[in-house]
Amino acid sequence: MQTFHDLVPYRSIKLLQYWIDELDVKVVLSLPRKTKLGDFKVRHNRFIVSINNNLNPYSFLITLTHELAHAFVYKEYKKKVTPHGKSWQKTFKSLMLNFLTPDYFPEDILRVLSRHMLSPKASTYSDLELIKVLKKHDEIKSFTISDISEGEIFNTSNGRAFVKGQLLRKRYKCFECKTNKVYMFHPFAEVIRRQ
């Protein structure tokens, strides 16, 4: 049976396992979810972290550490602090400092991740530069909306067809072909390129 040990850089396993044991947290490998890479929950006084099982080792390590930071903060403060507030940021930074070396990340990720950790966001996906460099290390390459040209037609996984529009701040304005309704797409939303 696959465990998180199979999905993170080998050198990170010992420290991650130490934190998991300290927190008595159950780590669950989840089928890929479109809206999140991982999450932290408390069920019947048990800590549970779930992480998508399709992440590359570097994305998995960042996501698991992100969720373990939630567990540490919850253990200390329960629900008295905001989920991605100062306590979580401080804890996440402190945990990630252990991994910010070439022993754990390739140079291209390390450079971008070090900048990201100065002020970590609630989601890796909100840092476009970081997600771009992490995607380079995906085993299975996928097309994202950033890979296609403005005006090009693409499909989503449910078969709906859209025309890619312009980038407005952080999302692409796209038009559904059938209804002409406007939808906003994250630059790294996975799409199916039309032939």
Of 28-32, 33-37, 94-98, 162-166, the poorest mean pLDDT is in 33-37
Q: Model confidence over 168-179: pLDDT tens digits?
A: 988 899 999 999
Give the model's pLDDT for residue 157: 86
- Which tokens go with 159? 């078969």
- Which tokens go with 122? 């609630």
User: What is the amino acid identity at position 38?
Assistant: G
> Contacts by 75-79 with C-beta closer than 8 Å and gap 24+?
75/23, 75/47
| Rounded-to-integer distance, Cα 107 and Cα 119, Å | 20
Mean pLDDT of 66-94: 94
Band (pLDDT 50/70/90 cuts) for residue 161 is very high
* Beta-carbon count within 10 A of 170 CB: 10
Band (pLDDT 50/70/90 cuts) for residue 34 is confident
β-pairing, 171-176 with 182-185? antiparallel
Band (pLDDT 50/70/90 cuts) for residue 189 is confident
Mean pLDDT of 47-74: 96
Give the model's pLDDT for residue 122: 83
Q: Name which of 73, 67, 68 is nearest 88 in CA terms.
A: 73
Residue 59 has pLDDT above 80, yes or no: yes
The string of DSSP codes covering 16-28 is HHHHHHHHTEEEE
First to last CA, the chain: 38
* DSSP for residue 144: B
- The larger pLDDT score, comparing residue 142 to residue 116, is at 116
Band (pLDDT 50/70/90 cuts) for residue 140 is confident
